[in-house]
Chain A
Amino acid sequence: MNKTVNQKAWLFVLPVLVLVAFNAIIPLMTVVNYSVQETFGNNVFSWAGIIWFEEVLTSQRFHASLGRQLFFTFTILAIEVPLGVIIALAMPRKGIWVSVCLVLMAMPLLIPWNVVGAIWNIFALPQIGMLGNLLNGMGIDYNFTRQPGDAWATLIAMDVWHWTSLVVLLAYAGLVSIPEAYYQAAKIDGASSWAIFRYIQLPKMKRVLTIAILLRFMDSFNIYTEPFVLTGGGPGNSTTLLSIDLVKVALGQFDLGPAAAMSLVYFLVILLLSWVFYTLMMRDEEQ
């Protein structure tokens, strides 16, 4: 769309700017402030330079959490995105079942995150949970509170359960926006269903899928409450993702300096990766 240049448009943006800046810039400055200071309690602070950053960047613990975080994020993306597309393709396009499917599928999205953790906790408990009881009944030795492998499997199953619907909803929206004429043309040309998917459906879904991938990437990188309620980061440290580790340092040990430095590094990692995703996908689109 041709946009007209109008500097007064700033006035329209002003309320948003004020609110978001209040919430974003002041806390961010607080974090930056802590990250370069040393404190011995009693509100006495002294300049510490970049020691906290050095500490974080070289610490084994941070590397381990970051590694687990990356593994988690890429695993759930690799499962949720293809699965969401497959389900969206198989969904009915009209009739009463559309509403039924959409309403039921959207359910997990609106459950508070701690409840999601609680649901999966009681669902997977080895003896009293439905899943845990079933698996153990089948002779599989399953206990997510003791065995790291089981904890990971449960964590990933929970996230797939929780968020695949977002990808489905977005992909479905992309699919219904394709005019019927495209399919008729493809039929006349005798296109296979793979060809229809590859050359009609996938390009039309590209925009919504970009949004889905970006949202899932950002949110899974920020995930805190669900794994905290489900496993508490355990057994041991095996499912301690970045934000769980951060909260342990910041609110548990009250190490403000290291926690602040870690926050900034964490935020920058997300920002950088999101920016790379965003530019890569937008560049494709412009071509």
Chain B
Amino acid sequence: MKRYSWLIPTLYILFLMLPIYWLVSMSFKTTNEILGSFTLFPTEFTLDNYRKIFTDPVWYNGYRNSLIYVSINTVLSVAVALPAAYAFSRYRFLGDKHLFFWLLTNRMAPAAVFALPFFQLYSAIGLFDTYLAVALAHTLFNIPLAVWILEGFMSGVPKQLDETAYIDGYSFPSFFIKIFIPTIAAGIGVAAFFCFMFSWVELLLAKTLTAVHAKPIAATMTRTASSSGYELGLLAAAGTLTIVPGAIVIYFVRNYIAKGFALGRV
């Protein structure tokens, strides 16, 4: 039985790749070919769909906008989660457990519930249609997650490390930055990965909070899908391109995923 165990992951990966293959192959087809006949490979191979995306500012700005707010969100979430996670892993203080659970409850909040109030809130403070609005809104579910992950990693680091550093004459900030952060680098990698992921894939809030200037690529796609009829090839090309940043991020954190997950509690 052990000998054939490789079959299971192989079949699973095949199942994962089939729809992605179909998307990529469709992105190289002409609309005529897509609607006309069923072909497994593109017969009239074309790059027109990609050319359109790279030359039309509505399309490529969508990508830029998404990447900007996702980056702001990731940096912000991890930066504020670091000291909080340290506090949860090292100290006991009034209401700590309740606070931790309350943070997690925000991870459970359905985006659909918050869409309308978020729109009103961010309009009221004049941030509507800015990168910052989406980045801040996404901290609602990313900060709790980052705190949760980092707390797990930090609890795995023995307290003796802190104590030794103080005896060696480190002040708290210099200990935290020079010793502690490098020690939990894997945890920061995993937390940043998850923040990037959940901000990159979220659409409902990002779409609600933007109109023109900060419109995410995903919103451009849905609007195109409804407004210009049935341009499946173009939609497939845009979809293919949204997979690329994710694939790059996974490639960079691949070793952290393998080892990093196990270190912490995630």
Contacts and interface: CB of A to CB of B under 8 A. Distances in A.
Contacts of A177: 262
Interface stretch (B7-15, B42-50, B51-59, B177-185): B7-15
Contact of A13 (B17, B99, B249): B99
Contacts of A109: 197, 201, 246
Interface residues of B, number: 95
Interface stretch (A47-55, A56-64, A183-191, A262-270): A262-270
Given A23-B140, A118-B239, A267-B109, A161 B81 contact: no
Interface string A208-228: 100100000010011011000
A139 interface: no
A41 interface: no
Interface of B: 1, 5-9, 12-13, 15-20, 22-23, 26, 34-35, 38, 40, 76, 80-81, 83-84, 86-94, 96, 99, 103, 105-118, 120-121, 136-137, 139-140, 143-144, 147, 155, 159, 197, 200-204, 217-218, 221-222, 225, 232, 235-236, 239, 242-243, 245-247, 249-251, 254-255, 257-259, 261-262, 265-266
B236 A122 contact: yes
Given A12-B87, A98-B258, A115 B221 contact: yes
A222 B111 contact: yes
Contacts, number: 274
Nearest to A15: B80
A150 to B, nearest CB: 16
Contacts of B121: 26-27, 30
A254 to B, nearest CB: 9
What band does the interface of chain A fall in when counting residues whose beta carbon is under 8 Å from B? 35 or more
Contacts of A16: 80-81, 84, 103, 143, 147
A253 B147 CA distance: 38
Nearest to A129: B22
A165 B87 CA distance: 32
Contact of B140 (A24, A98, A128): A24
A161 to B, nearest CB: 6
Contact of B8 (A87, A128, A165): A87
Given A107-B246, A221-B110, A102 B143 contact: no
A104 B222 CA distance: 26
A274 B109 CA distance: 11
Contact of B204 (A17, A211, A225, A259): A225
Interface string A107-138: 11111111100111011000111110100000
